[in-house]
Amino acid sequence: MELRTRVSTALKEAMKAKEADRLSTLRLITAAIKDRDIAARGDGKDEGVGDDVVLAIMGKMVKQRQESAKIYEEAGRLELAQDELSEIKTIEDFLPRQLGEDEAAAAIESAIVEVDASSIRDMGKVMAVLKGKYTGQMDFGKTGPMVKEKLG
User: What is the rounded distance in angstroms from the CA atom of residue 99 to the CA atom of residue 141?
Assistant: 14
Could you list the residue range(s) of the whole structural domain that residue 120 is in?
101-151
Cα four-point dihedral sign 8, 9, 15, 21: negative
Assign 80 a pLDDT band (cuts: 50, 70, 90): very high
Statement to judge: residues 125 and 64 lie in one domain: no
Give the pLDDT of residue 150: 85
Q: What is the mean pLDDT of residues 20-32?
A: 95
| pLDDT surpasses 60 at 1 | no
Domain finish residue from 92, 123, 138 = 92
Q: What is the mean pLDDT of residues 8-36?
A: 95
Question: Residue 140 maps to which CATH number?
Answer: 1.10.10.410
Lowest mean pLDDT, pick from 79-93, 112-126, 134-148 = 134-148
Give the pLDDT of residue 144: 87
* Average of per-residue pLDDT values in the chain: 89
Statement to judge: residues 106 and 74 lie in one domain: no
CA dihedral 100, 103, 109, 111 (to 10 degrees): -90
Q: What is the mean pLDDT of residues 33-53?
A: 82
Domain finish residue from 92, 110, 142 = 92
Burial readout 65-84 (b: 16 or more C-beta within 10 A, e: otherwise)? beebbeebeeeeeeeebebb
User: What is the rounded distance in angstroms from the CA atom of residue 65 to the CA atom of residue 119?
Assistant: 35
Statement to judge: residues 20 and 59 lie in one domain: yes
Statement to judge: residues 42 and 117 lie in one domain: no
